Amino acid sequence: MIKTQIETLRRELEQCNYNYYVLSAPTICDLEFDAKLSQLQKLEEENPDFFDPNSPTQRVGSDVNTSFNQVAHVYPMLSLSNSYSETEVTEFYDRVARTLNDDFELVCELKYDGTSISLTYQDGVLIRAVTRGDGEKGDDVTANVKTIRSIPLRLHGNFPALFEIRGEILMPWSVFEDLNREREAQEEQLFANPRNAASGTLKQQNSSVVASRKLDAYLYYLLGDNLPSNSHSENLLAAHRWGFKVSDATKVCKTIEEVFEFIKYWDIERKNLPVATDGIVIKVNALSQQRSLGFTAKSPRWAIAYKFQAEKAVTRLNSVSYQVGRTGAVTPVANLDAVQLSGTTVRRASLHNSDIIAALDLHIGDMVFVEKGGEIIPKITAVDKEVRFMLGDKVQFIKNCPECGAALIRYEGEAAHYCPNENACPPQIKGKMEHFVSRKGMNIDGLGSETINLLFQNELLKNYSDIYSLKISDLVQLDRLGEKSAYNIQAGCEKSKSIPFERVLFALGIRFVGETIAKKLAFALKNIEALEKASFDELIAVDEIGERIAQSVVLYFSDPINIERINSLKVAGLQMSLSEEKLQARGNSLTGLSIVISGTFSQHSRDEYKAMIEQHGGKNIGSVSSKTSYILAGENIGPEKLKKAEKLGVVLLDEKTFLSMIVTETANVE
């Protein structure tokens, strides 16, 4: 009896969610919905044997912090080729016509400006949600996606036993504006646009925060072995019947003229939509024809994105302020009269550097043209000099750092000005700490930018080496930091001590030393002591290390302050040399070989294969040329790479053959 009551309530609430979030046709009021949800929650708490992870009560999320696992995509998530004119769309249409040499239909859809997601359903139940990531693998964000009410947890109707559906996670304009108002009131950094806000929200490690952000989703592509139709448009209609939110702004076109009609209509009408769009996606409708057209290395040949022209507006320049980044780069920002642009209220625009300011001939009070076309921060493209009236001061780039007062410098060949006072300039210090604890660096949970700022203001952190001296007794006394947060920070610090040397080297924030360069230096020099002593000539002898990087590394290790901080990190227990395992794994069987990786693999990920190539002396390259030694080829190898390899006579290695080369060497070493 109780079980039946629980299941009935779940079905009713699922239908209510579908009516409200997918059909936009609510059948009950919020009060009645909340009453039913409370009743269900009470019954589930009293009868834990009937717990269901996909119950409507689970959409509120959990306040337990979780890290994300990397999951390989069954089908690579490629990006679309972009076009910006009717001519380029016509060229796409003509290419498809020539290749197919048959009648075909195109489907036009809105290109939603959010963050891509891949959802897997088994027996009608959502089992996994994965971000695009690098296209080959992404983050498993299932717990967060379950909080999005427009994404069904359980389907209804006649659906395949196993399939994947892809779409876009979005933050509606109204939610975005409300969120930024809240952040502004709390003196927190504002989100630049709904796309960034949606992406950042989806990566929150606390799913209850995700639930509070009211994300939305539109689904636009089905993948699987037993799809209902050979027609992409009919598959979307079927997905809608199963419970998915599919845009009704979709049109099947038989001629290029119909495509252009769709583009022209939505270029204007999109401004009335509740979510951000930045173009139109044009796809060949028949799946059999999609397969016939195939893929390039980066994108499908059967689809193209038409990007809308950037929106422009005219507004007044009131002042120019200056921001200092982690590396000391000083960026000028124009402060403007508020103006609506691409659905958001714009009050600031990037001026990039002193050369841009000089070229624009900017004066305070000028009426300026502001453009936002994929820019995170809008930019000023021109000045309306014809309406100049009561001209204010000419904008001159500052000579001293706005944060610490140090005289700015400009390196030869660079457009930016820099503050050289890296050890005493607050935004640089905090920026370096944020970089140090970032996911690709030391990956310390609990130390976000707001917490770092709080600790810096209270003088508990003066630089990144102080992080390992933080005490729980000091942390719990601060506003917004309770005992649980303090213990999480300490646990994150302890866990980070096992981060490998190459990532520690990246986390130090040495100028020009990114992830790949840090790895090259770590494997070439083996430990931090060797790196400290390395000369300029020794450094440029390392693969891919040029003069600029070598000079930066030498300069970094010549500073006694940096050496002191590194010594503190050594005492704290961080990994300052390559592990024995990596040293032993290193061989030379691939020395002198340049290898391209293409396709999907069953035994290891692409990143793992890249690491193996480097560990055995080989070099990873991205494209096939006459200098390519081999292609490590998995399933679904890019057709362009395959065609070029055949033309140049480049040998293809399968996984088994490649691994046997390395295993043989490892056995010989042992």
> What span, in angstroms and rounded, lies between the C-alpha atoms of 21 and 151?
9
Assess whether pLDDT exceeds 90 at residue 219: yes
For all residues of the chain together, what is the average pLDDT? 86
pLDDT mean over 526-540: 93
Domain 585-669 has CATH 3.90.1150.10: no
Rounded to the nearest angstrom, the gap between the alpha carbon of residue 342 and the centroid of all alpha carbons in its chain is 21
| pLDDT at position 669 | 40
Phi first, then psi, for residue 31 (nearest 5°) are: -65, -45
Whether pLDDT at 142 is above 50: yes
pLDDT tens digits, one per residue of 3-54: 788 888 888 877 877 665 556 566 776 567 666 777 887 787 777 777 777 7
Band of pLDDT at residue 196, cut at 50, 70 and 90? confident
* Range(s) of the chain covered by CATH 2.40.50.140: 314-420
Residues with a known catalytic role: 111
Residue 667 pLDDT: 41
pLDDT exceeds cutoff 50 at 95: yes
* Amino acid 22: pLDDT: 58
pLDDT band at 189 (very low <50, low <70, confident <90, very high): low
Q: Which of 192-201, 326-335, 399-408 has the lowest mean pLDDT?
A: 192-201
Residue with tokens 């037993």: 226
Reduce the DSSP state of residue 45 to 3 states and report it. Answer: helix
Q: What is the DSSP string of 595-648?
A: EEEESB-SSS-HHHHHHHHHHTT-EEESS--TT--EEEE-BT--HHHHHHHHHH
Domain boundaries for CATH 1.10.287.610 within the chain: 2-60
Say which CATH topology domain 426-496 has: DNA polymerase; domain 1 (1.10.150)
Superfamily for domain range 2-60: Helix hairpin bin (1.10.287.610)
Question: What pLDDT score was predicted for residue 221?
Answer: 96
The least confident of 181-190, 507-516, 551-560 is: 181-190
The string of DSSP codes covering 384-429 is -GGG--S--PBP---SB-TTT-PBPB--TT-SSEE---TTT-HHHH
Query: Number of helices (H) and strands (E), helices first, in the chain?
Result: 25, 21
610: pLDDT strictly greater than 90: no
Q: Which helix (H) or strand (E) holds 181?
A: helix 173-185
Residue limits of CATH 1.10.150.20 in the chain:
426-496, 501-578
User: What per-residue confidence (pLDDT) applies to 254?
Assistant: 95
| Closest listed residue to residue 605, CA positions, set 140, 131, 138 | 138
Average pLDDT estimate for 67-89? 86
What does the pLDDT look like over 624-635, one tens digit per residue? 888 888 988 887
User: The domain 82-307: what is its CATH number?
Assistant: 3.30.470.30
> Roughly what angle, to the nearest 10 degrees, separates helices 30-46 and 2-17?
150
What is the pLDDT, as a whole number, of residue 40?
Answer: 81
The mean pLDDT value for 354-369 works out to 92
Query: What's the pLDDT score for residue 542?
Result: 82
Top-confidence residue, 390 or 560: 560
- Which CATH class for the 314-420 domain? mainly beta
Q: What is the DSSP string of 213-260?
A: TT-EEEEEEEESSS-S-SBHHHHHHHHHHHT----S-EEEESSHHHHH
Which pLDDT belongs to residue 586?
A: 61
Percent of all residues in the chain with a pLDDT value above 90, rounded to a whole number: 47
Whether the pTM exceeds 0.85: the reply is: no
Task: Return d(Cα 362, Cα 316) in angstroms, integer.
Answer: 11
Query: What's the CATH superfamily of 501-578?
Result: 5' to 3' exonuclease, C-terminal subdomain (1.10.150.20)
In the chain, list all ranges with CATH 3.40.50.10190. 585-669
